A and B are shown apart, each in its own frame.
Chain A
Amino acid sequence: MSVRLRPLGVAPGALAFVAAWIVAGLIARLTGTPVVLALMAALTVAVATDAFAGASTLRRFRVATITSPPTATAGADASMRVDLHTGTRAAGACRRDGRLRLTDAATGTPIGSEILAADARHTGTVITVRFERPGVVRALAARIDLPGPFGLVWWARTEVLEIPPIHVAPPPGESTVDQNRMTTSLDGAAPSRHGTHLGDVDGVRPWRDGDPVGAIHWTSSLRAGDLIVHDREATTDERWDVDLDALIAQADDRAQAAARLRRSLDDGLRRGHDIRVTHRGASHRVQSDEEAAKWAGIVADDPETSRPAVPFWRRPLRLTTAETTTNVPPTARWATALAAWFSLTMLIGALAGSTLFIAAVTVGLAVGAAVSLRLGDHRPRALQIAIAGVIVVALGFITADARDVTGLLDALRGPMPNLLVLLVVLHGFEVVDRRTLRVHQAITFVATAYAAGLRIDDALAWWIAGWATALVASLVLTVQRPRLAPPTTGAVGRAGLWTAGAVTATLALLSIVPIPDGPARLGLPSLSTNDTPIDTPGALAAPGGTAVPAESSGDRGRIGPTVGYPGFTDTLDTTIRGDLGDEVVMRVRAPAPAFWRGQTFSDFDGRRWTVSPDPGRRVDGPVIDVDPALGDLSAEDVPTEEFIQTYFVETDLPNVVFAAARPSRVVIDGDLWTRPDGALRSDRTLTPGSVYTVVSERPLVTAAALREQGDLAEFFAPFRGTVGAEPLEDFLAVPASTTPRTIELARQLRQATTYDTILAYERWLGENTQYELDAPIPPDGADAVDDFLFESQLGYCEQIASTLAVMLRTQGVPARLATGYIPGERDRVSGVWKVRASDAHSWVEVWFPRTGWQAFDPTAAVPLAGETPTATVGGDLIGAATSSLSSHVRELTALAAGAVAVWALGAVLVRRRTRRRRGRWGILQDRFAMLPVRADGSLDGPAPGPSDGVPVLTNPQRAAHLDPPEVAMAVAATLDRAAFDPGFVDDDETYRATHAAVATLERGRR
């Protein structure tokens, strides 16, 4: 018995998922969204799981016995019974659509096939078979085709089984062609009918004149109604000549003549005769089945069959396999509609579509599902024309509307998703079979990936979870037959194990996938919803477009709601604190954390930083190459990376364009002022919905790289005072109000290298000052740095950064102040940094000649660019999961406790129901039947079903194998009495005795 397990192909429509996967890859490339990568990995693992689970099910699934009739007639129906052994572990397999095919193992001719029934395990499947050609069949190849749990990948398991020989008799009245027979015995003597040695029996054939009576096969004769005789191998050499030319010339019906020829040739081949056909005057030898088929094809004048068989490597590649049925179960259709609803709602949400749009789509999807279910595979032409018309009209509108599409984001956000939504809804009407259903499911995958690429909000994970659940349900329901018995607890447990394994595999796969480093270069997103230019070109503008009030009232916390933070004005008074709210200001999609820098300040008067008045150069958008400002360039041998950030503005912001240091290219709707101090300003204020992208050239700075640059004061000393070094002096200017004790402190803390000096300053500040948002205002005329360092010793980022800058400047190190936002909180599913108003910050930047301006900040923990740990998509997802788990320990514990309680309650209820249904004697009978019995040394455990090849035992039969036998016999007798004696009186004493006896037997087996 040989067994072969091989993949059969994928289900119709499953290739659409491959296309969807590729499209998702494009989306991931375009948008740089980690969650799209997660979707792709999940799909990969799901398909792999489908393949592995299908193969694993089939490995446990075998044909136990084939009960075949001893005789059959060619061309007539006969029946065979196939008992499947599924074992207890593969019981769920039958719930899937599967197919059983029987072929004659010797010739490979199919003889019958049947859809696997779920109850095959219990009663066996009776298959109607038909043998096409007479002969003896000694072995059958039974092939079981089964898909994986998602119905995408099909496997075939072929098993060759020896069976008692089936004698296939020729059909009555079958005619053959004329043959010219020449018989020679082995020794070359003249042919003789009598006295020749009889060969071995080799099948049956119709009786021919001269056959001995002893050769008649009576059983077959009774079946066929004609005399059938044993056919014997000839020990003589017999040669048959068939004149094809004459046959063709005389044939009225060439197909019939071909059939007769085929039978004759088969007959001769089976007996090992030397067969020749004469075709167009030439004689050809016929030696194989294929050749016989070829000649029959020539006679039938059928080019298909007369062509020689095509070798498998030249056959067209067929990946898909036929399913047992194309019928779409309603549950699967509705689950698919739900998945489509999730994905489309997600997509519309990403476009900020109206509720009306969502309602229309909902209705469209529901109507589509209902209509397609009602229509079945009958598609009225009118509907197709209507759908095509709607698509054409929509395309026309969209094309007309999209004439001025310039940026990729415009297209991605505007016409394309609308078209996709429309197509999904309309395709819903066309879902008539499983192929189109799978295509529809694959389209929802694309829509979900699309939405995931565009959406930046917090609820993305939940939407995707809802969509994935609906999709998995629809996949499983498509190939599952719901009316069959519910799955056993074992099957549910196994499904759970598979799911856990698949999730682990997905995470494992994702844990080697780095977070995508941003959108592809071919189209960086930018979008502006504001067309109003600001009053003074190049100046700062508050969200209203008006100039920012230059002076504040001098009161802390009074900058007003227009800007929110003094760092985004022309002057940063260290005595003023912004009125920071907690609302989300913007979301930044970036692969790693960084300071989102808005402005830099170099001019400090002891209390107030002032921005350089030079507005810089105006550059036309949307794609702007930013020239490096002074101090931005790093040495050529310092490795840099391209760091792409996309800023999604959520609230009204001034026209400050944020960027991680050092911006090299900005994609933004509108023009940009690139300032010599490195800051960027837009020609319009940023309104909610605005999007711009910054590509930064980021030197991969490490602590070692900074330290090895030594003491910067020594480096810059030669340049000081030289011609053209004025800009450098700006970064070294110490305010006049700086006190000697400040300089003295800076000198005392100075280290051998500037990097260590900065660390020493930060350490000192950490030890001697306190971070305090409500720090007191220094007295009038006092130096703010001095006041912070030695008087109040309370302060926040402005104080700290100003102090660091001044202290460094006193030691000859060029430094300036930068304002902007700290990275904010990362949403690990969408990979977006959520920046709140309270994340506004200022920090100090130090000019390292080899690596450029380097930000330092003792309060915000932003790692150095070269030391940022590499994050992976999987690691992020695991982190998100663990953090949400650890933050909800109490709820999860309650949930687990609740689940355990529900489970326990369910178990109690089931037990009570069993007790009520089975009665106390029924439970005893069940326990007795569960006692392991070793019959024929093969059976251990409860007696399996009859088709498992082991007879079902009666109670006394079971008792005979138990120990001690007399106790077991008594129990068996009592149980039979309880079951079948109408006069049985259920008294407690008998029950107790039997109960005790069963307990004894159970103990005895352990």
Chain B
Amino acid sequence: MDTLPPPSPTFDPTIDPAPTPPIDRELDAFATAPGPVAALGARLIGTMNAVVAGKAEVIDVSVATLLAGGHLLIEDIPGVGKTLLAQVMARAAGGSFHRIQGTSDLLPGDITGSMVPSGRLDVDGMRFRPGPVFANVVVFDELNRATPRTQSALLELAEEATVTVDGVSHRLPEPFMLVATQNPIDMAGTYGLGEGALDRFHAVVTPGRASADAELEVLTGRRGRSMLDAVEPVVTLDELVAARAAVARVQVSDVIAAYVVELLDATRRDPRIRVGASTRGGVAIVALARAFAALGGRTYVTPHDVVRASVPALAHRVAGATAPVAVGRDLAADCVAKVPVPSL
């Protein structure tokens, strides 16, 4: 049974059916069986793996976040393929792709777009020129270099999937996904994300350094950025939207929901964690677990999906604003290890 609502109202046809494109006969398959989602996911993951070397788990989480309709935070040192990961996902998904570089003088208007004069100002008036955020996949590099003002504007619109300028709302394209990156070590001149801001990301991944073999492949050009141009879209946007709808329909039993609640409780009871995970964290776990279940070709969530989803969904929430995500990953894994896994 569905015990939790789908992650975002945008993807719920009962609330806002308008942006959902008419489902043709091929897309019907998504509505009835999990197989197409798994196949779609396999295509995406395969494509991404062909480019990004040795990051299978990170790619799995990224694709799951995409299918869960969430936003992704990539935190790691420079040069480990954060941006490449986002770019190849955008290309493979076949949507539009914009990239924003975070700086301290970036203003909210710079990303949302603004009203500009159109032709003759007195006749045509002002028209809205969309900012870089109007794309299916938006990569925001070095999010913590932007000012808190810009950060919160970005996160607000990412949550609402709507940009409001001069009192007029503009819907972001469907599907929409924000991928933000940040660098945990170079802290001078940055504005660390507050706990509230972090909470809006469904998942966080830390790719880490590639293995020696993977590095060899990157250096010889068999993988890596040089292959990016060769990536062709493997899914259509319509398929992606249908897949998201299918993921939202994945069944979550009460036992699983209770398990997630236990996990959240474990983070709240751990003395090392200042503030435990929020309910939104639980929602994120369930959404990611649904996506993992669908990627596994199932219409129901198993505890294994929850375990896989928990660490990326909880790491940034338990680490707090001051500690690196890597610490949070350990804490989250510790909490997961302390909760008994439900079974039959």
Contacts and interface: CB of A to CB of B under 8 A. Distances in A.
Interface in A71-118: 78-81, 83
Nearest to B340: A952
Given A68-B271, A978-B344, A983-B299, A952 B339 contact: yes
Nearest to A928: B343
B341 A954 contact: yes
Contacts of B338: 83, 123-124, 946-947
B256 interface: yes
Interface stretch (B88-96, B166-174, B237-245, B302-310): B302-310
Contacts of B20: none
B222 interface: no
Contacts of B271: 67-69, 78-81, 126
B344 A951 contact: no
Contact of A922 (B272, B337, B344): B344
B265 to A, nearest CB: 10
A953 B341 contact: yes
B272 A70 contact: yes
Overall SS of chain A's interface: helix
B14 interface: no
B300 A977 contact: yes
Interface in A218-239: 218-219, 222
A980 B256 contact: yes
Given A67-B270, A955-B343, A982 B302 contact: no
Interface in A625-656: none
Interface in A767-796: none
A843 to B, nearest CB: 80
B220 interface: no
Interface in A726-749: none
A958 to B, nearest CB: 9
Q: Which of A78, A922, A981 has the most CB of B within 10 A?
A: A981
B337 A952 contact: yes
A954 B307 contact: yes
Contacts of A69: 271-272
A99 B165 CA distance: 64
A976 B322 contact: no
B188 to A, nearest CB: 13
B253 interface: yes
Nearest to B342: A979
Contacts of B344: 918-919, 921-922, 924-925, 975, 978-979
B269 A68 contact: no
B343 A68 contact: no
Interface in B294-344: 298-304, 307, 322, 334, 336-344
Interface string A932-968: 0000000000000111000111111100000000000
B255 A979 contact: yes
A83 B256 CA distance: 25
A219 B299 contact: no
Nearest to A922: B344
Contacts of A713: none
B212 interface: no
Contacts of B341: 952-954
Interface in B226-268: 251, 253, 255-256
B1 interface: yes
A700 interface: no
Given A68-B271, A946-B339, A975-B343, A954 B303 contact: yes
Q: Which of A67, A218, A918, A975 has the most CB of B within 10 A?
A: A67
A177 interface: no
B340 A979 contact: no
Contact of B304 (A219, A222, A945, A957): A957
Nearest to B323: A219
A218 B339 CA distance: 32
A222 B322 contact: yes
Q: Which of A924, A954, A980 has the most CB of B within 10 A?
A: A980
Interface in A962-1006: 975-983
Q: Which of A79, A929, A946 has the most CB of B within 10 A?
A: A946
Contact of A955 (B1, B251, B301, B304): B304
Nearest to B262: A123
A126 B269 contact: yes
Nearest to B333: A951
Contacts of A123: 338
Interface in B63-113: none
Given A69-B272, A975-B343, A981 B307 contact: no
A980 B300 contact: yes
Contacts of B303: 954-955, 976, 980
A946 B337 contact: yes
A925 B272 contact: no
A68 B272 contact: yes
Given A946-B337, A977-B300, A982-B253, A81 B343 contact: no
A980 B255 contact: yes
Contacts of A70: 272
Contact of B343 (A83, A925, A982): A925
Interface string A898-919: 0000000000000000000011
Contacts of A978: 344
A301 B162 CA distance: 72
B284 to A, nearest CB: 19
A909 B337 CA distance: 35
B38 to A, nearest CB: 13
A952 B333 CA distance: 11
Interface in A820-853: none
A218 B269 contact: no
Contacts of A81: 269-271
Contacts of B301: 980
Nearest to B300: A981
Contacts of A946: 337-340
B272 A976 contact: no
B253 A980 contact: yes
A67 B272 contact: yes
Given A126-B269, A219-B322, A980-B256, A956 B339 contact: no
A107 B298 CA distance: 57
Contacts of B302: 954-956, 976, 979-980
Interface in A109-157: 122-124, 126
Nearest to B251: A982
Contacts of A80: 271
A982 B337 contact: no
A929 B343 contact: yes
Contacts of B343: 925, 929, 955, 975, 979
Contacts of A126: 269, 271
Contacts of B299: 981, 983
A772 B309 CA distance: 98
A954 B339 contact: no
A957 B337 CA distance: 12
Nearest to A919: B344
Nearest to B343: A925
A905 B270 CA distance: 46
B322 A218 contact: yes
A908 to B, nearest CB: 23
A211 B307 CA distance: 46
Contacts of B307: 954, 957
B253 A956 contact: no
A946 B251 CA distance: 27
Contacts of B272: 67-70
Interface string A308-350: 0000000000000000000000000000000000000000000
8 contacts: A67-B271, A80-B271, A83-B338, A946-B339, A952-B341, A980-B255, A980-B301, A981-B298
The 3 closest A-B pairs by CB, nearest first: A951-B337, A925-B344, A979-B344
Given A81-B271, A123-B338, A954-B303, 20 more contacts: A67-B271, A69-B271, A78-B271, A219-B322, A222-B322, A919-B344, A946-B337, A946-B338, A946-B339, A946-B340, A952-B340, A975-B343, A979-B255, A980-B253, A980-B256, A980-B302, A981-B298, A982-B253, A982-B300, A983-B251
